[in-house]
Structure 1
Amino acid sequence: SAIIGKGGWVVGKLREKLKINSIHVESYGDYLTKEYKLKLSKKTLNKFNSDLTGIQNLKKILSSKLENIYSFDYNSYFESNVFKESEKTEAVVALSGGVDSSFSLILAKYLGFNPTAVTIDPGTIILPNQYKRNIKKLTDQLNAGHEYIKADYSEIIRESLNGRFHPCGRCSKHTEELINQYAINNDIPIVIFGDMLSTGTQCITPQEKGLYRLNLPASLAVGKQENKSLTQQFDLQSFSGFGCPLLYEVHRKYPYLKKYSIQRILRETRSSALEVGEALDLIWSFYNTKD
């Protein structure tokens, strides 16, 4: 009941009545929220004084989405709008092989950032091999540069398996630090993450040493359905459940830590980054773990 509400129940009954596998409904309020986020993103990006090819093209697609907010489709847009790519690498994309980071790399490539994808590899307990297969498949199809960086996450792994803390916050922070350092070392001005929550004024933020972080999906107020409609063109493997094998094991050993994962899911649902049905599936997946 924390998620679905009366509206969700009605939509579920409608799907049953129509005898279809899935149904997607957006309220007028959803569109008003999306429009508000897009206007804030546009205002923020217009203040960002940069002649980077990718940023200029991002401003163009942002304006187009605002003008066609009810019918905008990424596949159709890029079929009729082909942008020239920057001669220099303008962005590093943090690529995990999941849907959000894959969407970010696709968008960065199409917008002309001439991106290099970087994957932090702490081992299979955090980055399973099936994600690596997605990474290779996507970077090959996009003809995008890619590098793995081996990293020591042993303390995070050990302490989370001992129940000291939920791993996601510390893991994400360390990953961001390593990606930022790679960009600084290689004189690349932008780091792109697949964050879908930092919308509007937080879509692009200054980091250390002249570096900027761009939350690309968030800058365009992207929802999960929009995300999937673009990434599915690349036939990537989809994964059920939430998080990595480490998180699965932490949930199994310390069930009380599941609440922090659920809070994350609820935040994404409230922001319209997650569909209601998807959120329910993710939460239920936490209770299918075996002792």
Structure 2
Amino acid sequence: MKFKKNEIIEEIWRIREEIGHQYIEPDIKDIIFDEKNEVMLIITSDRPEKSIVIGKGGWVVGKLKEKLNIKSIHVEAYPDILLREYKIKLTLDKLKDIINTVDSQPLMNLCNLLNQRLENINDLDSILNSRNVEEPDTHQAIVALSGGVDSSFSLIIAKLMGFNPIAVTVNPGNIILPKYFQNSVETLTSKLNVKHVYIEVDMEDIIKDSLEGRFHPCGRCSKVIEKTVLNYTKEKGIPFLIFGDLLSTGAQSIVIEEDIIKINLPAMLSATKGEIKNIASKYGIFKKGGYGCPLINEVHKKYPHMKKFSIQRVLRETRAGILEPGEALEMIMKTI
């Protein structure tokens, strides 16, 4: 099945007219259609053109998907693609510096992956499907695994890159790590055939003070989890520690701390939330709406003013281009 650019443009302005939107012809730079997966990528010349294709509330792109009878349509602005390429080049420079001092095949595999991503920035899925690397006998990395899509994505990539990872889940109890996250963790590690370890930690003081409205819990909770996983990594003498952070792109996506090389894989790959959700879903991991942590949801109920700190987190990811404005709006509306 082939789609011509001029036909898609005509269909978009027809849909806009049908639903009462202003008649505007979008400037589309390119259209890429994955026939096997029935996924279309529309690349617009700029963000305002992207808004025209998406439409208010996503109506235009939603109706376009229905009319074309395909599974999914993603819309990207060309300047955003250029920015992602630039971030990946910064990452590559830092990664090559580390490779010069550290002999590691998994790091070389990551370097090759990033070079392939630069050649085909819009199709991470196909690049990963073509990867076939040997896994060492020894464990090369610890991956902090919460059961959410970001950390799940990180474990998947670590496995595909030949790190032979151990997945570590810090468990402060069901109020922070609910049963459905534990089920996701166990499902994923089983599918990937990855060793998995739970580490029990005491966060009673954080939980108590949060429920009394003393502070927003996320920052303090994250610090405890990071320190716990870092200590476990040092104790086991494993050289790499991998997290699912999205914001620390470029040179900050791989750093050396206390002789441990810390890698934030989604940030390193300059992955979008859409790419992360797509790859995680292939292994049965799906993003739930809003915040999955029962503690933060309870804090929101008891102290509505705390919601602003959660919303700031959403806005940070939106400014970084990780979240689409529509996704961000949905998360904010669920928060308030």
Provide TM-score, normalisation by structure 2.
Answer: 0.80
Aligned length: 281
- For residues 256 and 198 of structure 1, the distance between their equivalents in structure 2, rounded to whole angstroms, comes to 27
For 2:269, the equivalent position in structure 1 comes to: 220
Query: In the TM superposition, what whole-angstrom CA distance separates every residue of 1:54-79 from its partner, at most 9, and x where no partner exists?
Result: 1110001001001222x4232x2233
For 1:18, the equivalent position in structure 2 comes to: 64
- Candidates 145, 158, 176, aligned match of 1:126: 176
For 1:139, the equivalent position in structure 2 comes to: 189
CA contact (8 A) 2:148 2:285 kept: no
For 2:108, the equivalent position in structure 1 comes to: 56
- For residues 22 and 182 of structure 1, the distance between their equivalents in structure 2, rounded to whole angstroms, comes to 41
For 1:83, the equivalent position in structure 2 comes to: 133
Query: In the TM superposition, what whole-angstrom CA distance separates every residue of 1:76-134 from its partner, at most 9, and x where no partner exists?
Result: 22332201112211110000000000000000000000100000000000000001111
For 2:162, the equivalent position in structure 1 comes to: 112
Q: In terms of Rg, which structure is larger? A: 2
More contact order relative to length (CA 8 Å, sep ≥ 6): 1
CA contact (8 A) 1:199 1:221 kept: yes
AA aligned to 1:101 is S
For 2:31, the equivalent position in structure 1 comes to: none
Matched, 1:46 2:131: no
Question: Which residues of structure 2 form unaligned runs of 5+?
Answer: 1-46
Question: Which residues of structure 1 form unaligned runs of 5+?
Answer: none
- For residues 117 and 287 of structure 2, the distance between their equivalents in structure 1, rounded to whole angstroms, comes to 27
AA aligned to 2:110 is L
CA contact (8 A) 1:94 1:101 kept: yes
For 2:327, the equivalent position in structure 1 comes to: 278
Q: Secondary structure of the equivalent of 1:149? A: strand
CA contact (8 A) 2:277 2:286 kept: no
- For residues 266 and 237 of structure 1, the distance between their equivalents in structure 2, rounded to whole angstroms, comes to 22
Comparing both structures, which one devotes a greater share of its residues to strand?
Answer: 2
Query: In the TM superposition, what whole-angstrom CA distance separates every residue of 1:151-203 from its partner, at most 9, and x where no partner exists?
Result: 00011111111111111001001100000000000001111000010000101
CA contact (8 A) 2:53 2:75 kept: no
Q: Report deviation, 1:25.
A: 1.1
**Superposed CA RMSD:** 1.8
- For residues 137 and 62 of structure 2, the distance between their equivalents in structure 1, rounded to whole angstroms, comes to 52
Structure 1 stretches of 4+ with a deviation exceeding 3 A read 4-10, 19-23
CA contact (8 A) 1:52 1:90 kept: no
CA contact (8 A) 2:152 2:285 kept: no
- For residues 232 and 206 of structure 1, the distance between their equivalents in structure 2, rounded to whole angstroms, comes to 31
CA separation of 1:237/1:78 partners in 2, compared to 1, >3 Å: closer, same or farther?
closer
Matched, 1:174 2:220: no
Q: Report deviation, 1:17.
A: 4.7
For 1:252, the equivalent position in structure 2 comes to: 301
CA separation of 1:19/1:100 partners in 2, compared to 1, >3 Å: closer, same or farther?
closer
Structure 1, 102-111 or 42-51: larger mean CA deviation: 42-51
Query: In the TM superposition, what whole-angstrom CA distance separates every residue of 1:233-271 from its partner, at most 9, and x where no partner exists?
Result: 112244121240000011111111111111110111111
Structure 1, 11-20 or 260-269: larger mean CA deviation: 11-20
Query: In the TM superposition, what whole-angstrom CA distance separates every residue of 1:204-228 from its partner, at most 9, and x where no partner exists?
Result: 11212x1121101100100011112
Give percent identity, aligned residues only: 48
For 2:214, the equivalent position in structure 1 comes to: 164
Q: Secondary structure of the equivalent of 2:79? A: helix
CA contact (8 A) 1:104 1:216 kept: yes
- For residues 224 and 91 of structure 1, the distance between their equivalents in structure 2, rounded to whole angstroms, comes to 23
CA separation of 1:152/1:185 partners in 2, compared to 1, >3 Å: closer, same or farther?
same
- Candidates 292, 299, 317, aligned match of 1:268: 317
Q: Secondary structure of the equivalent of 1:25? A: strand
CA contact (8 A) 1:53 1:85 kept: no
